A and B are shown apart, each in its own frame.
Chain A
Amino acid sequence: MSKDQNKMSKANKVLPQGEDLGGAKREYNFTVYTENQIGLLNRIAIIFSRRKINIESLNTSPSEIESIHRFNIVIHETEDVVRKLARQIEKQVEVLKVYFNTNEDVIWQELALYKVPTDNIAEKASVERLLRQYGARAVVIRKDYTVFETTGHREETDALIEVLQPFGLIEFVRSARVAIIKGSSGFNVKLREFERTEPAPDVVENEYLNKRGDIFTM
């Protein structure tokens, strides 16, 4: 979705009458642990689209635990809306656990690839300076083109586009965001509790009830 469309979709979003906005809109990172199930991506995506909320970034891949997938979803919303979305996601039968965090609470990266004509790069740019300054590396060097790779936050990967544009940037691609939660102790222990027929209380219950004022996890 283009940036313009994106702006429009937010402007058009009709908030239910009398809804408490729950503070200002900001970026939130959902971390969702799920079963590996066909159709679940759709089930999760429509929770957002039904409410006309744009997903800014979505990554899904197998987690460190066999058969469990991990989603990273980024949206721009108020905490109040994010909390409600988290509960709707966790309600899905094949979702094990949902966390949401602000950018301050996660370490996150996006990976970007840049394809430029090798001639231009070799002649006009100080490749070495470029690579060092932007933490980039060359993945492929061919006679006709070179592909650089870098990881970082949006501004960092954007900055390298700016730099490479004058050298005839041919193609650019950026991955979705992946994020690690700073305060997490991992999912392995939780999963073992889920697998017991009689799960331990802290798995069954809603953790948000403990600290309803704080950042919400459930």
Chain B
Amino acid sequence: MDTRQQATITIPEQKEAVELTGGAALLEALLIEGVDTIFGYPGGAIMPIYDALYDYQDKLSHILVRHEQGGIHAGQGYARSSGKVGVVFATSGPGATNLVTGLADALIDSTPLVCITGQVFAHLLGTDAFQETDVINITTPVTKWNYQVTDAEEIPEVIAKAFYIARSGRPGPVLIDITKNAQIQKFSYPGYTPCDHIRSYRPKPIVRKEYIEQAAELINQAKKPFILWGQGVLLGYAENEFKAFVEKSGIPAAWTILGAGAIKTDHPLNVGMLGMHGNYGPNVLTNECDVLIAIGMRFDDRVTGRLDKYAKQAKIIHLDIDPAEIDKNVKATVPVWGDCKETLPLITELIQSNDHSAWLQKFRNYEKQEIEAVIQDELFPSSGQITMGEVIQQLNELTKSEAIIVTDVGQHQMVACRYAKFNHTRSNITSGGLGTMGFALPAAIGAKFGAPGRTVVAIIGDGGIQMTIQELGTIMQSGIHVKIIILNNEFLGMVRQWQELFHDKRYSFVNITSPNFVTVASGYGIPGKSVSERKDLKEALKEMLNHQGSFLLEVMVTKENNVFPMVPQGCSVSEIRLK
């Protein structure tokens, strides 16, 4: 299945130049870029754009969020589920500053976004005008590119650049700040030409044959090779190429949480999750393999643990589209800079079909130990309160691993990433690099708009839901169908776990009380249920999934469970603890 859903750009026949306002020119550009959904919130400085939008309601669907942070996370969810660029509108000042967390999140997780902010009239810039903030400078460190438009004539070209930059190379968020005068200004609109080249920007490196050959040779000689893959495989739409490479090479492959789903969870060569709360085998054997093949991943510290004890015995092949990632954290023996959709097939062609079953068996042996020590009790507890793991386990069964799972940040996130099963790519949507609590509810809304045919289940902690709970209003008003599971342990669980393990159980402000979530949801017209007994869990999950519409299910789970295995901070991956 080619997952590339990017709408092909059709340029309407060039008619005579027409008179348009800057605001209308912006919307024309969005239409030609294939945009169908905008997440936004109006305000003074963006009113001319919203006025123009009034006439485009039949072509562009605008989702009114409840907070701009919700808007941008929804844009991220949309981009991650659909593969298209997420589009977000916000007004100047507070509207724009509310985008900052989402921009930082999208930059570190390489999510393509185009955010449009209104700005005060150009002649007021720098006068501390009402709702004036220096948005360009505030957002510079958290955008791939940003630009301030003060003249409507710039709009077609700047928007074309924005989309090109957001989606090409290593994707990322772009912010365009448009002063109010430029939105109002009428100009002779020359039509829209999408951008496909910027002379100072080289998103797609030319592939170097000698490194392909060197990589293939290392792989052919390897006795204990190990593949690590990340979101780059998804971002490059290279799932098929990746699968072909894994299957021909016969090499065990493990994933970062953003890479999950590129090949099925149940694929025989998929050996599980990397990192701090990843699986036992992949972590331990990282320090035993002889060739490490890293594909579209950036050796984040949550994946590598202690760097000076990370895979020191191995030769490293690193495939990445971003040259700044090569040698950044881990020195590559063979750097394969390029788009993995191009580089993977070239390597696959040069490698011999192989079978590493004895080496693979080692992963499976560790898996057995992990099942006995951790997984069995987490997924199939016979007594005590409900565990987070068994909720995910039952969800897997009921959804047949077909759903999109959107997680927030904390213990429930790690548990969901560890145990959720995925049959399809673009199914695990989570805030990886930034770890933004409050991400899941709005991102789930966006994910559903981006993939309306799929079931979207948000899994959120009792802490994180309270950071963006206002987006229940967006669900209510838009009528979008999102399934919300709150795993309530009555704690800021992940912080509590660290306090228990590393701070002598001094629980400092991790005890969090919650409203009656079911009542809150019902206030928004969303049906819900709360369960705390094991015997009621499955029925409740079924009810949630079968309900035609959004549904909130609160599950009261064990209060003080810890997520294991765990690579404690400052330790090597091979020092991963099962208990």
Point out residues on A near B: beta carbons under 8 Å. Answer: 16-20, 34-35, 38-39, 42-43, 46, 50, 83-84, 87-88, 90-91, 93-96, 191, 194-195, 197, 199, 201, 203-206, 209, 212, 218
Contacts and interface: CB of A to CB of B under 8 A. Distances in A.
Contacts of A205: 205-206, 208, 337
A87 B201 CA distance: 13
B294 to A, nearest CB: 16
Nearest to A18: B308
B140 A42 contact: yes
B145 A93 contact: yes
Nearest to B308: A18
B335 A209 contact: yes
A86 B196 CA distance: 25
Contacts of B308: 17-18
Interface stretch (B223-231, B322-330, B497-505): B322-330
Given A95-B200, A205-B337, A209-B337, A50 B141 contact: yes
B200 A18 contact: no
Given A34-B200, A50-B141, A205-B337, A93 B165 contact: yes
Given A39-B137, A46-B140, A203 B202 contact: yes
B200 A35 contact: yes
Contacts of B547: none
B149 to A, nearest CB: 12
Contacts of A18: 306-310
Contacts, number: 79
Nearest to B146: A39
24 contacts: A18-B306, A18-B308, A18-B310, A20-B331, A39-B136, A84-B327, A87-B323, A87-B324, A87-B328, A90-B324, A91-B323, A91-B324, A93-B144, A93-B145, A93-B165, A93-B200, A96-B199, A96-B200, A191-B199, A203-B202, A204-B204, A204-B205, A205-B205, A218-B323
Given A39-B148, A91-B323, A204-B202, 18 more contacts: A16-B301, A18-B310, A39-B136, A42-B140, A46-B140, A88-B324, A90-B324, A91-B324, A93-B144, A93-B200, A93-B201, A96-B199, A96-B200, A194-B199, A197-B197, A204-B204, A205-B206, A206-B337
Interface of B: 136-137, 140-141, 144-146, 148, 165, 196-202, 204-206, 208, 211, 301, 306-310, 322-324, 326-329, 331, 335, 337, 570
A34 B201 CA distance: 11
A56 to B, nearest CB: 22
A19 B137 contact: no
Contacts of B146: 39
A214 B211 CA distance: 18
Contacts of A191: 199
B206 A201 contact: yes
B461 to A, nearest CB: 29
Nearest 7 interchain pairs by C-beta: A18-B308, A18-B307, A87-B324, A194-B199, A96-B200, A204-B206, A93-B145
A204 B306 CA distance: 34
Contacts of A38: 148
Contact of B140 (A43, A194, A201, A212): A43
A50 B198 CA distance: 27
Contacts of B301: 16
Contacts of A95: 200
Nearest to A200: B206
Contacts of B310: 18
A101 B361 CA distance: 50
B199 to A, nearest CB: 4
Contacts of B323: 87, 90-91, 206, 218
A209 B200 CA distance: 20
Nearest to B336: A209
A68 B331 CA distance: 33
Nearest to A191: B199
Contact of B211 (A43, A199, A204, A209): A209
A194 B197 CA distance: 10
A17 B206 contact: no
Nearest to B323: A206
A206 B200 CA distance: 14
A211 to B, nearest CB: 13
A19 B206 contact: no
- Most chain-A Cβ atoms within 10 A of its Cβ — which of B137, B165, B201, B308? B201
A210 to B, nearest CB: 9
B201 to A, nearest CB: 5
B369 to A, nearest CB: 28
B198 A93 contact: yes
A39 B134 CA distance: 11
A206 B310 CA distance: 26
B163 to A, nearest CB: 13
Contact of A17 (B148, B200, B570): B570
Contacts of B329: 16
A205 B570 CA distance: 36
Contacts of A42: 137, 140
A197 B200 contact: no
Contacts of A84: 324, 327-328
B200 to A, nearest CB: 5
B325 to A, nearest CB: 9
Contacts of A39: 136-137, 140, 146, 148
Nearest to A39: B136
Contacts of A16: 301, 307, 329
B204 to A, nearest CB: 8
A197 B205 CA distance: 13
A206 B208 CA distance: 10
B321 to A, nearest CB: 11
B322 A91 contact: yes
A83 B474 CA distance: 46
A212 B334 CA distance: 11
Nearest to B324: A87
B141 A206 contact: no
B101 to A, nearest CB: 17
A35 B147 CA distance: 14
Contacts of B144: 93
- Most chain-A Cβ atoms within 10 A of its Cβ — which of B199, B306, B308? B199
Nearest to B325: A87
Contacts of B306: 17-18
A204 B196 CA distance: 15
A197 B141 CA distance: 29
Contact of A199 (B202, B208, B307, B324): B202
